[in-house]
Structure 1
Amino acid sequence: MLKTIVLILFFISAFYLRSSAQGCRYGGAIYISSPSGWYQWTNPVSETCGAGATTSTQYARYISNVSGPNTCYIGFWGLGGTGTLVNYALLNCPIDDYLWVLILPLAAFAIYMLRKRNLNLFTEPALLA
């Protein structure tokens, strides 16, 4: 059983920590479009999921700073500010609004397993009768 749990956790973490990219972190956002022409880093993606975000809304999850020189510039000619070059991953917002959909089947399964093993949580055990 423990091996199965460890294996499941490994696959979940491998999926969650998929490949990263480099971007410029500045002011609560990570700019994901690399410099080209007159423009420096553009296309900001928020680091958090805002109110009302759905599972199709993406956010940029900060992973780590890039080693070495890591200063980057935002916007046209870099006039938008100075940020830090970081590694990030684009992820979909979590399903907080749908947690009850996951909890109800798990609770039903737990009750089924307790009844199958004749364990009753609603009676007191006989203490030194």
Structure 2
Amino acid sequence: MRLSGIHHIAIICSDYEKSKKFYAEILGLEIIQEIYRRERDSFKLDLALNGEYVIELFSFPNPPKRTSRPEAAGLRHIAFSVPDLDSCVAELIRHQISPEPIRTDESTGKRFTFIADPDDLPIEFYEA
């Protein structure tokens, strides 16, 4: 088997409008398409970063809760690379989002921080 890349990341949210605003307006991901699936009472929002499809945001009625801290077993977190972590943090704070203290990757010397999305999913910003 030969993989050629990651196609997308699927996220199920508990408050569709709140998560849509977070990913599209605050993080600035581009909306490719939005579909309402009546038979499932579910929205599906396709989002792109720099023109590349990256996230499928879903809503479902009453989704079950799941552990989402960065150290929990399972999918750990989503990480976005940013050119300037200080300006990224300032923008997050402007939107009333409190990032964790900035840390430094011991292996690379690069700086990074975490926030939580509206459903407490950990999101990393890594200075590239």
What's the TM-score, normalizing by structure 1? 0.20
- Structure showing the higher helix proportion among its residues: 1
Which one has a bigger Cα radius of gyration?
Answer: 1
- Structure showing the higher strand proportion among its residues: 2
What's the TM-score, normalizing by structure 2? 0.20
